[in-house]
A = this chain, B = another copy of it.
Amino acid sequence: MASTFGTNIKISIFGESHGMGIGVVIDGLPAGEKLDVDALQKEMNRRAPGNDPTATPRRESDIPEICSGILEDTTTGAPLCAVIENANTRSVDYERMSRLPRPGHADYTGAVRYNGFNDVRGGGHFSGRLTAPLTFAGAVCKQILARRGVTIGGHIYAIGNLYDRPFDMLRVHPEDLRRLTQMQFPLNNPAMESQMRALVEQAHSDGDSVGGIVEVAAVGVPAGVGSPMFGGVENVLSSIVFGVPAVKGVEFGAGFNVTRMRGSECNDPFTIEHDKVVTTQNNSGGILGGISSGMPIVMRAAIKPTPSIASKQHTVDLREKRDAILAINGRHDPCIVPRALPAIEAAVAIGIADLMKEVGKL
């Protein structure tokens, strides 16, 4: 099904980019969890548009209104619904969209899927704007996970062909993750920021866009979370992370690099440390046989360049069934990677909360 996720913690996301509002219902949260509403808003602000030159100038305050499921800021166990108003919609930009599908967007496939009734204004339900309620749900899960000793965070691993220093998968520390969360442009090596920004700026001034990679880690997940076959950590996390628009690849631990390793190099040896079973390297990204090993869980997601670009593109006129040229005039992100990061962290948080609840650890 489209816009629902989860087994033990279920989310149901709704809304369109230029409709009245967007939001999420979260069912299955444990009762008695005090929510820090300011911290929730901070997570929302990390994703919100209009705050950074890499992002669209469309401004949205993105203040979620919690309609249900809490009493005195504490979860009641009943479904929590949050609604975010769409304040700043300029539909004029998108008028021709239903006729001239934008390359790289869901305009065409959405029209086929929904017989032309899909709301194309701003991408409708396919819009990246729908990551706002996802980010909210993730922010709620992050707070609950934090009380169980789990910290989730990430950084911009690549923009175009410029790479940040990757996580040391063996030693990534909760403090590192928390520090990254405070940064407007989260990098392990902040010296990369100016080059990366220049790359984005160049693309922008060329009427173009760039993609990149985000790397996210979850530290503190106890061993024994997840299940074999289709209930594994990789299965569950990938199935929610691909819900963030523009993700075209997901990898865990050493990821695609494992394919060039030998077994003797790839296998993470076990040892005893402080009476605990650990590994001396972490190519598995904290997951063996779908189940967490207690080591940091590390994943990467490939983000394609924003498909909305100012340059002219070849498309078709769906009504007249002929080729056409499209120029998109709306406000767009020359690089979506920084705003995708909190959304992907959120997806990881929701997935891990769902899995931990399955084994009675939430």
Contact = CB atoms under 8 A, between A and B. Distances in A.
A208 interface: yes
A349 interface: no
A348 B158 CA distance: 29
A108 B101 CA distance: 47
A227 interface: yes
Given A238-B250, A249-B255, A27 B1 contact: yes
Return the 8 tightest CB-CB contacts between A and B, nearest first: A106-B289, A249-B251, A78-B125, A77-B114, A269-B314, A209-B263, A31-B114, A109-B291
A245 interface: yes
Given A211-B261, A260-B211, A268-B104, A76 B289 contact: no
A266 B27 contact: no
A69 to B, nearest CB: 7
Contacts of A306: 263
A12 interface: yes
A113 interface: yes
Contact of A130 (B4, B71, B229): B229
Interface residues of A, number: 149
Interface stretch (A49-57, A115-123, A173-181): A115-123
A288 B228 contact: no
A105 B275 CA distance: 21
A288 B27 CA distance: 20
